[in-house]
Amino acid sequence: MLRVRCLRGGSRGAEAAHLIGAMVGRALSGWVQRAFRSTSSSAAAPLPLTVDEPVTEHAPEDCPVCAYNEWDPLEEVIVGRAENACVPPFTVEVKANTYEKYWPFYQKYGGQTFPKDHVKKAVAEIEEMCNILRHEGVNVTRPEPIDWSFEYKTPDFTSTGMYAAMPRDILIVVGNEIIEAPMAWRARFFEYRAYRPLIKDYFRRGAKWTTAPKPTMADELYDQEYPIRTVEDRHKLAAQGNFVTTEFEPCFDAADFIRAGTDIFVQRSQVTNYMGIEWMRRHLAPTYKIHIISFKDPNPMHIDATFNIIGPGLALSNPDRPCRQIDMFKKAGWTVVTPPTPLIPDDHPLWMSSKWLSMNVLMLDEKRVMVDANESSIQKMFENLGIKTIKVSIRHANSLGGGFHCWTTDVRRRGTLQSYFL
């Protein structure tokens, strides 16, 4: 039987970390604004604090940012943008995270926009998704549109940008704190800029805001000789615990973490190293516990199409990438459900992901789930679990690397901090 323990509070005294993050953001903002061209004036305009805009700390019940898990009733969400999405340059970290059949695509189009007709369809799909979320009573906010094709240079590397399509990758909300992930791809180094107007607004209204240590992304962060040529190479390297990212400095994508109250689960992946996990562990302790889990996955990157928690003591586990610690969940009284094989056609382009985006769903609450309209098998699975399916087609948006969970960051869910993993 699943045991649930209610707790008080959920925020920690991390004011120093938040202040440092804000100071670093202000110091960089002037240089970054000169280095990029934004298609939105609000993305570049400074937003100084004034007497009319006091910064106050609110209790979780009235803070604009508050979420403890993946299934409490969703009240506000950030939905990403496909506009201006660019193919990342074909660097070693991108090669390690993409499938061989798409390597020629990256070699040819790296630094250029994704196929415009495809992006146009993805934009329309995500707009419809936003409309449906609003119809379901969820407030929707969006990042700023930015020209990601502009080349930038740091003391350690040169790159073009990618997109602001997947807020789940860069932002995670834990209690009334919003944490910016440092990321691990050079093409995503400045992705946070698209979200800063939103985050500053949440901060002014009482949310805590932390920016994790930004990696230099120097050559030492990557195994430049990472020997990946075939699927067999991927399996062998993953089994050995070898990844393209080293332990040179902390790095992580927020999408490698998934929340269940006081317990947060994470995988070491191609974009999240142990130093990044340790930073999160120390930052969130003692209120939250970080559990490292692993999978038989030849290409680990982001946990939510491999292991997706959809309710208290209820999780989806990818049968192609079984969890090595699955007994830990069963002993805790959890129900682990195996989702059906995805129905997405073989000829549909998935430049950055696998077909298992079918299980990358967004819970609107314990009894409502946003699921792909084309995936009838998983719709039936949810209905058998007593969960109503909210059907939306995002096939073209899938091609850019994410399902509903990836395309969103839940900013506020109505609930309390509890323990589901005793």
**Alpha helices by DSSP H, 267-368:** 274-284, 326-331
Q: Are strands 408-413 and 418-419 parallel, antiparallel or unpaired?
A: unpaired
Q: Which of 253, 256, 263, 365 is catalytic?
A: 253
Residue type, 152: Y
Separation in Å, CA 386 to CA 369, 374, 378, 419: 11, 20, 13, 23
| CA distance linking residue 64 with residue 265, whole number of Å | 24
SS3 298: coil
- Tokens matching residue 4: 């649930």
The answer to whether the beta carbons of residues 80 and 404 sit under 8 Å apart is no
User: How many Å is the Cα radius of gyration of the chain?
Assistant: 20
Phi first, then psi: give them for residue 251, nearest 5 degrees: -150, 145
Tokens of 422: 């005793």
**Residue 230, Cα to own-chain centre: how many angstroms?**
27
The two three-digit tokens of residue 76, written as one number: 């506000």
Residue with tokens 């250029």: 112
How far is the CA of 271 from the CAs of 82, 226, 236, in angstroms? 22, 14, 18
| Spatial separation of the C-alpha atoms in residues 277 and 241, rounded to whole Å | 15
d(CA 53, CA 39) in angstroms, rounded, equals: 26
Element (H, E) at 360: none
Instruction: Give the integer Cα–Cα distance in Å for 2 and 256.
Output: 24
d(CA 367, CA 385): 9
Active site residue 406: yes
| Of 66, 130, 223, 302, catalytic | 302
Residues 6+ apart with CB under 8 A from 21: 180, 209, 210, 211
Q: Which of the 8 DSSP states describes residue 163?
A: -
CA distance 267 to 331: 20
Of 86, 405, 406, 410, the active-site residue reads 406
Tokens for 176, please give them. Answer: 């009334």
Beta carbons of 297 and 291 less than 8 angstroms apart: no
Catalytic residues: 253, 302, 406
